[in-house]
Structure 1
Amino acid sequence: MFHKAHRGTSKLRLALMGPAGSGKTFSALQIAKGLGGRIAMIDTERGSGSLYSHLVEFDVTEITPPFSPDRYVEAISAAEQAGYGVLIIDSLSHAWAGPGGVLDIHDKVTKAVRNSFTAWREVTPDHNRLVDAMLGSACHVIVTLRTKTAYEVVSEGGKTKVAKIGLAPQQRDGLEYEFTVVFDLSIDGHVATATKDRTSLFDGNYFTPDAETGIKILEWLNAGGAASGNDAAQTVADDQPVEPERKNAFLLDTLDRMFNQLGLGTHVEAYQAYVCERYGVSGLEDLEANQLTEQLNLLRQCKMREEKLKQLVTILEQHKKAA
């Protein structure tokens, strides 16, 4: 019934909160790029997400009013069935405060039953279905949340100025506790701080989210099990005794997943030829554990450094031409 827990079996649940202009959509796409895999976006912002199509390749579906929770649930299910690795919901606030959202539905039910409390009993299951769909998704899920805007007089460099700040997110109270990480974004510089962080990677830090942020989170998720070079090999080693065949099968599976995460699926034959030539074997299954680990470390470097990935692609393209 029970089995050993591994973070590698988990999917990211990330929320980006901030007022208009704080860079929520931009940050979501950058982090998604670092996570790897195919990216889908649920856009409720009148196509604003597509303005960033030059930054990273992704597919989009637009939701227009009414922003009922059921329409979000339908789109989440469609993304899963299509096999996307990362799903961005931009923004989740519309499902709460937008036309046809939970608050709108609640108002209509209240007028019909003339009892606000009874109305919540009618509406809450709709909201819960949406939350369950996000938490149970097979995709990494990144959501953006609008925050109410306020202005505050702050001191900076001995001078005072009026700064635009974000307050509570426009969603049901307590929703942020459902996420693995919650970043609060500022207007100035799109700087992020972690208001909730189960990874402990960002505690007390001030930073601008980018692809490296996604890579760091993915490394943390995979550190307990399935896919990161030395960590993967060490996980097997810690579970001694393990037959060599079982260990190699695990490493081969890990290698395959990392290769696909890097978007190198079209180079698989060239990669196999390159590896076989390098180690003098007839197939990947003939590699020894230390050779597989070496290749896992190479792919891990490609995840961390774009120039390494470009070098590998160049090598594989040369093998294709030589074939």
Structure 2
Amino acid sequence: MQLRQSERRQAKIKMALQGSAGAGKTFSALLLAQGLTNGDLSKVAIIDTENGSADLYAHLGNYNVVSLKPPFTPQQYVDAIDLCIKENMSVIILDSISHCWDYLLDYHSSLTGNSFTNWAKIKPLEKLFVDKILQCNAHVLATMRTKQDYVLNQKDGKFIPEKVGLKAVQRDGLDYEFTLVFDIDIKHFAISSKDRTEIFMGKPEFKITPETGKIILEWCNSGKKSEGNSINTSASIEIPQQIQHIDATEEEVYNAIQDCNSVPELLTLYRQFPQYHNTLKPDFEARKTILIHTVNPNNKFSRNGHQK
């Protein structure tokens, strides 16, 4: 065990695209893959759970398809990823991982006994799946379906449900595992709801193009930030002064959640206090949803993924 200086190294992007049916998640993922492979779609594989929808875009190029059949178990996804790695695929598109979560929910409901303790049987299966995504030596683009989401806000002493946007059909907090998350609306515009690359966060909505993938590839291949590098990797997120200490109370952390003004700031807060992940997770999720759907409300559309 020893201390070493921090240094960002080359990486494989692990990102998610979430949106409702018809938002263009599969098409957008393929455009990103074009950029990530410099146009060589023969190095791209789609793991398809959408009943053949991956073949609808064959006109884009000669990418590869692995079709899965129900039940969509975590092991099926793991085996398919292993196959793609064996065949030296550079980009793996998981379209979609919502089917895996649907399977896990159905499996959980089929178990007898205590519903709460039965989650202990589900978590290892999901962990197997998530770890494979995060550790495989390829760029991974995962799509997730979304549904309308609501949060409870207090008004006149009563809690009133208010519609705040779309929620992924997936385990709460899974998006924290990814380096980059794009939310895509029905008009095919994307906005970043989580961004460790710091390229897209806070930017106006944009249309995904192969150039967006090239920008992400540049970030993946860059090491330490050097003079003249256009990608900013050195920015930091400040935690509110009142909770700089690691032993902050649950109430202090709750108040800090409400004071967060961006998703990166919220994510930093979430990571700093793992002891409150269970008790305050609904508050983290509610604040994140509000921040996602109130960012840059007056900005004009940008038609590509270029930095401004």
Q: What do the CA deviations read for 1:253-289 (whole angstroms, capped 9, x no partner)?
A: xxxxxxxxxxxxxxxxxxxxxxxxxxxxxxxxxxxxx
Q: Please tell me whether residue 84 in structure 1 is matched to residue 89 in structure 2.
A: yes
Distance, in Å, in 2 between the alignment partners of 1:5 and 1:32 is: 29
After TM superposition, list the pairs within 5 Å mapping 1:258-277 onto structure 2: none
* 3-state SS in 2 of match to 1:194: strand
- Say if 2:105 is the partner of 1:107: no
Instruction: Say how many residue pairs are matched.
Output: 210
- Of 51-60 and 190-199, deviating more is 51-60
> Which has more helix, going by share of residues?
1
**What is the aligned partner in structure 2 of residue 298 from structure 1?**
none
**Contact (CA 8 Å) 1:7, 1:222: kept in 2 or not?**
no
Mapping of 1:252-263 within 5 angstroms? none
CA distance in 2, matches of 1:8, 1:216: 16
State how far apart, in whole Å, the 1-side matches of 2:58 and 2:9 are.
29
Contact 1:42 1:88 in 2 (8 A): yes
Contact 1:39 1:85 in 2 (8 A): yes
| Residue 23 of structure 2 is aligned to residue 22 of structure 1 | yes
- What are the within-5 Å matches in structure 2 for residues 29-178 of structure 1? 29-36=30-37, 38-97=43-102, 101-109=103-111, 112=112, 114-149=113-148, 167-178=166-177
Q: How does 1:200-239 map to 2 (within 5 A)?
A: 200-205=198-203, 206-224=205-223
The runs of 5 or more residues in structure 2 that have no matched partner are 151-163, 230-308
TM-score (norm 1): 0.61
The residue number in structure 2 matching 1:196 is: 194
Post-superposition offset of 1:204? 2.2
Runs of 4 or more consecutive aligned structure 1 residues displaced over 4 Å after TM superposition = 1-8
Which whole-Å CA distance do the structure 2 matches of 1:91 and 1:7 have between them? 30
Cα RMSD of the aligned pairs, angstroms, is 2.5
Relative to the length of structure 2, the TM-score reads 0.64
Output the amino acid matched with 2:172: D
Contact 2:47 2:80 in 1 (8 A): yes
- Determine the structure 1 residue equivalent to 2:13: 12
Contact 1:33 1:56 in 2 (8 A): no
- Give a deviation string over 1:25-63, Cα, whole Å, max 9, x none: 000000011000500110000010110111132100111
User: In the alignment, residue 49 of structure 1 is paired with which amino acid?
Assistant: A
Aligned-residue identity in percent: 47
SS at 2:60 equivalent: coil
CA deviations on 1:153-204 (whole Å, 9 max, x unpaired) are xxxxxxxxxxxx961100000000001110000102x000000011111122
Looking at structure 2, the residues matched to 175 and 49 of structure 1 have their Cα atoms a distance apart, in angstroms, of 24
Which residue identity does 1:191 align to in structure 2?
Answer: F
- 5+ residue gaps, structure 1, are 152-164, 232-323
Question: 1:125-151 CA distances to partner (integer Å, 9 max, x unpaired)?
Answer: 000100000000101000000001479
Distance in 1, matches of 2:145 and 2:45, equals 20
Letter in 2 for 1:93: S
